Chain A
Amino acid sequence: MAMDYKGPIEYSIELAVEKICDLLKASYFISKRSVALLLLQDDEEIREIVRKNESDTIDDIQKVVKEAKAHFANPITYELALERQNEVRLIIEKAVKIKKETIELRERLSRLTMNPITGIPILLLVLYWGLYKFVGQFGAGTVVNFLEGTIFEKYLNPFFIKAAAHIVPWRILRELLVGEYGVITLGLRYAVALILPIVTFFFIVFSIIEDTGYLPRLAMLIDRTFKKIGLSGRAVIPMVLGFGCATMATMVTRTLPTKRERIIATILLSLAIPCSAQMGVILALLGGNPKAMLIWAGIVGLIFLFVGYLTSKILPGERPSFYMEVPPLRMPSISNVITKTFARVKWYFIEILPLFLLASIFIWLGVLSHLFDFMVNLLKKPVELIGLPAEASKAFLFGFFRRDYGAAGLYDLNKHGLLNGVQLVVSCVALTLFLPCIAQFLMNVKERGWKTGLGISVFILFFSFSVAFVVNFILTRLGVIL
């Protein structure tokens, strides 16, 4: 076999390699040359192996490594990568022919997605068509209306209520199962008829985006912005997922390498990324008022950057590093998208369903013990403080447990003309910043531990009301009429 390939490397590296090879006495499964090159690149695992095997010469070896490194301004890894890429190019020139147009088109498209000037409009288009039109309007609108309004409200719920009336003799227990906030009539319905379709549609979009190779490009595009808020391009996936369901996205923060990044991501997800349910409510409330919508988006965007920047300054720890291989753009395959979507929906459902059932039980307890009435009263003051009618407090509390109820509450207030433009913006800002739902709260605690999870949630509670207060104050003072 012709296995005597020696990579073309810079002379002073070559010299160091030769010296190290002479000093390596033991036999390794791989060539001494390769061992030497890895040592020069600070490979810790190899260094440990060599340290064990070469007790006599290890000091000399380390010296050679140190001298060689002093030779270069760049890391040796970089120098080697450059040399190798040159070698590869030579081989490719001889053995590979590529028809020009295809590669140019692909390459051009790829660059467009990563260049901020064109990349951000492309991102907005993807968000508009993928999230707003497909997931929001079609998934969360049309499909959910059918599943919830028709299947559950007309057929399933009446059936379960009737069945329970026959089987369960105690009223309190019946309430738990099929009451207004029952495990079946609320928890299961919410999970199956509302969350399941939204998340399924979201995952379809996500899988398509992923399959095309757009995600790593997006990561490159916003890496610099994210670095300023203590995250890196890697956080793109949890953040994008957050637009679908913040609870699920919080679970995905596990993929972030440091605890610091995970905490920052959790805060931002809970605070400033509206999940699809929140988005639905907000679009319904602000849909007819573009100016109000713009103000809302501006405020939430600013808060996202500001809080991220602040937490990254406060939290100790190293700044993240990020490097990502950008795979080629390609047409997504349908079977791939279906398989991935199915696997994800299944995973999501298994993780989330128990949280929704648990939430139903909490609500049942809250209503039963009159704790809710108490809390609604407690919330009236802060709600009035941010310039909203006291009736909105009920919408906020219940919205925390049951998004649609909170929405309906605000929607009703709006319909009855109780909210003016400024109040609409204020309530939407508060609603966005507020924890999206109890499942999110439970997930924060589950992923970040009791102390951090609870801390984040309490912070968000106060922060969202404070911001709403300030927004109300400024808009009213400026005499803005929306």
Chain B
Amino acid sequence: MLKKQEKVFLPDNMSIKKIAIVGNPNVGKSVLFNVLTGQYVVVSNYPGTTVEVSRGRMNLEGTDYEVIDTPGMYSFLPITEEERVARRILLNEKPDIVIHVVDAKNLERMLSLTLQLMEAELPVMLVLNIMDEARKEGVSINIQVLEKELGVPVIETVSTAGKGIEELKKRIKSYGNGL
């Protein structure tokens, strides 16, 4: 594609890896985004839209990442402007890692988007968030089996309490070197 090449001219973007956080509304994307990026955050409207997109920086042992918090999306086939923007970010910004955050309590409702992202051959990681509530409700998820079935990394987190974040960072760092 010829569009959106201008980003390449920014020297920063040459070495920085991009991470896009995607998922349904209300699954804790923004909390995860905040936990990962800390304070270096820019919120701006996505070009040509009224939808706000936050971008922040994260450093993992010397590697810089740009983290993008995308608007909520239910499906890879967009209906709302928010969903359209979320997908445009995936198409145009070519993230190195796509973190799909889901509510572990409602995995069944959300896994369809994971499949669609994988179908698109995007570099997906699946984050099962809100694990504490899921456990409380008697939902137990076998991570190893899920990883095997999907063939992508799966990480459990409770982003509001910072649980599982270290593991997530480790997996981001080693992403691309096998599961």
A residues at B contact (CB < 8 Å): 1-7, 26, 28-31, 33-34, 37-38, 41, 43, 45, 49, 53, 77, 81, 84-85, 87-89, 91-92, 94-99, 101-103, 323, 325, 327-328, 330
Interface residues of B in 26-67 (CB under 8 A from A): 26
Residue contact B115 to A88, C-beta cutoff 8 Å: yes
Query: Which residues of chain B are near A325, meaning CB under 8 Å?
Result: 24, 74, 109
Bound CA–CA A29/B90 (angstroms): 8
Residue contact B151 to A1, C-beta cutoff 8 Å: yes
Residue contact A6 to B119, C-beta cutoff 8 Å: yes
Query: Which residues of chain A are near B149, meaning CB under 8 Å?
Result: 91, 94-95
Residue contact A34 to B1, C-beta cutoff 8 Å: no
* Interface range on chain B (Cβ under 8 Å from partner): 35 or more
Bound CA–CA A53/B145 (angstroms): 40
Cross-interface CB contact of B139 among A31, A49, A81, A96, cutoff 8 Å: A96
Residue contact A38 to B112, C-beta cutoff 8 Å: no
Bound CA–CA A49/B133 (angstroms): 42
Pairs across A and B, CB under 8 Å, 10 listed: A3-B123, A30-B91, A30-B121, A43-B78, A49-B91, A91-B146, A94-B145, A97-B141, A98-B140, A102-B138
Chain A minimum-CB-distance residue to B141: A96
| Min CB gap A426→B, angstroms | 46
Query: Which residues of chain A are near B140, meaning CB under 8 Å?
Result: 96-98
Chain B, 53-97, contact with A by CB distance < 8 Å: what is the 0/1 string?
000000000000000000000101111000010011011101000
Residue contact A88 to B91, C-beta cutoff 8 Å: no
| Min CB gap A219→B, angstroms | 15
Residue contact B115 to A7, C-beta cutoff 8 Å: yes
Q: A3-B123, A96-B108, A325-B74 are in contact. List 10 more A-B contacts (CB 8 A).
A: A1-B179, A29-B91, A30-B121, A33-B121, A34-B76, A45-B87, A95-B142, A103-B138, A328-B103, A328-B106
Interface residues of B in 114-143 (CB under 8 A from A): 115-116, 118-123, 133, 137-143
Query: Which residues of chain B are near A91, meaning CB under 8 Å?
Result: 111, 146, 149-150
Query: Which residues of chain B are near A102, meaning CB under 8 Å?
Result: 137-138
Residue contact A5 to B178, C-beta cutoff 8 Å: no
Question: Contacts A37-B119, A96-B107, A98-B138 given: A5-B151 contact, CB under 8 Å?
Answer: yes
Chain A minimum-CB-distance residue to B143: A95
Question: Contacts A3-B151, A31-B121, A97-B140 given: A92-B115 contact, CB under 8 Å?
Answer: no
Query: Which residues of chain A are near B118, meaning CB under 8 Å?
Result: 3, 5
Bound CA–CA A29/B4 (angstroms): 12
Bound CA–CA A101/B137 (angstroms): 9
Residue contact B120 to A30, C-beta cutoff 8 Å: yes
Cross-interface CB contact of B112 among A26, A88, A95, A328, cutoff 8 Å: A88
Quick check: is B105 within 8 A (CB to CB) of the other chain? yes
Quick check: is B11 within 8 A (CB to CB) of the other chain? no
Question: Contacts A92-B108, A96-B140, A98-B138 given: A30-B115 contact, CB under 8 Å?
Answer: no
Residue contact B26 to A327, C-beta cutoff 8 Å: yes
| Min CB gap B136→A, angstroms | 9
Bound CA–CA A91/B126 (angstroms): 14
Bound CA–CA A92/B140 (angstroms): 11
